[in-house]
Amino acid sequence: MATATVAGTPKAKPGKPVRSKLTLPVLMLLIAGVLALTSLVRIITGADGITDVGQMSTALQLAVPIGLAGLGGLWSERAGVVNIGLEGMMILGSWFGAWAGYQWGPWVGLLLGILGGALGGLLHAVVTVTFKVNHIVSGVAINILALGMTRYLSKFAFEGKEGGSSKQSPPVDALGSFTVPGLADWLSTLNHKGWFLISDIAGLLGGLVTNVSWLTVIAIALVPFSWWALWRTSFGLRLRSCGEHPVAAESLGVNVYKYKYLAVIISGGFAGLGGAFLSIVSANFYLEGQTGGRGYIGLASMIFGNWMPGGLALGAGLFGYTDSLNLRGGGTNVHALLLLLVILLAFAVAWLIWKQRYVGGLVTAAVAALVLTWYLLTDEVPSQFVTATPYVVTLLVLALSAQRLRMPKADGIPYYKGQGK
């Protein structure tokens, strides 16, 4: 461990510096700073679309399935089980959600979607916890199995039905959405004023109260619920102890196997709900390949968030926003954000030099110069790059945040009952 605690005061061990913790006030200042820089870039470039209400509303809708998959990964990995199979569990959730939804209604579809993902989680738990199979191998196998199984079942469940085919389900009834009257119109008007920072904040808040699905509200509420359940209840304490030190947990009477099973099943349920969101809310039908790697991006958002619900939500929002740029044809918007990237890289260069990391500062400065040259010599980025933006941002964020991450100590390590005796 990097620090030892004496009377509540962190004390560094020899040769290992204490890493400052990112507190909530500091995080809020960073978010405010990035938002202010984004507003400045919008005014300079004239790309009003980067913070308009429509962009933010789309970003929220795209962030929800990513965030739900990330919450699934959080529950599983906090209990010590790596869940690469989130993508497959999302596929199961989207298929079962659409299959039940077009027959019995969207709310029943959501329940069956959760159940479908939970079954995938149960399979992952049996294979990894009971039979000690490598967690990565099991997760990849579940992803392949889910894709093959849903493709096979679609031929019997959807083919020949009105509006259905071997790769697509019949349409599902709408779940329903709402717009806060008065407030949404006022924020939209404020957003179109083009004022520095105020209009951008109005656009962000407007996206939260305009055409919002009821399932989006539930998904947002699950973030603080997960924090409360995992960090403020005895159940959560026992579950997290299984991911940090299962031997010590068992010595205190915790049934490690039970908590690992519960965590992975809950994980699958979250991922299944994210898949059901795609087939019931986002598109109102199941389509093969619908998840589009969102399970993996959800896992990336969990890692970016340092295995914490709040950070996970920020990561999901970031990835949802970049995905919305692609959906809304944002070649000009992405080009404007290149300037924002240059400014952020300039701050990174200054910070690295202050920390006397001159090699890193030089490399970062070179990257900033290349991005600035790209920005100055072009008016719009190619559509292929816009499509790749969510995945490029995923890789960049994970690369830049890798040094501050701390996964649960026993994450991915097989545990044998009675190991501590």
- Long-range interactions of 231-240: CB distance < 8 A, separation 24+: 239/75, 239/78, 239/79, 239/263, 240/78, 240/79, 240/408
Task: Give the three-state DSSP class for 287.
Answer: strand
pLDDT digits (tens, 9 = 90+) for 161-193: 888 898 999 999 988 889 999 999 999 999 999
Residue with tokens 């490029």: 392
**Phi, psi angle pair for 22, to nearest 5°:** -80, 100
CA distances from 193 to 13, 50, 188, 345, 401 (A): 54, 14, 9, 29, 36
Instruction: Tell me how long the chain is.
Output: 421
Give the residue among 211, 212, 214, 231 at the shortest CA–CA distance from 223: 231
Q: What is the mean pLDDT of each run of 10 residues along the chain (421 residues)?
A: 40 47 76 92 91 92 96 97 97 97 96 97 97 96 96 93 91 91 94 93 93 94 97 97 95 94 98 97 93 93 92 91 78 87 91 89 92 92 78 75 82 83 57
Give the residue among 302, 297, 343, 346 at the shortest CA–CA distance from 322: 297
Fill in the DSSP letter of residue 290: T
pLDDT value of position 264: 98
pLDDT value of position 396: 76
Contact 241, 83 (CB under 8 A): no
pLDDT digits (tens, 9 = 90+) for 314-366: 999 988 998 888 777 667 888 898 999 899 889 989 988 998 989 988 998 99
Ordered domains of the chain (ranges, CATH)? 49-326 (1.10.3470)
* Average pLDDT score over the chain: 89
Which amino acid would we find at residue 123?
A: L
pLDDT value of position 289: 93
Encoded tokens for 339: 């300037």
pLDDT value of position 17: 46
Per-position DSSP letters for 37-77, written without gaps between them = HHHHHHHHH--GGGGSHHHHHHHHHHHHHHHHHHHHHHHHH
Dist. CA 337–CA 332, nearest whole Å: 9
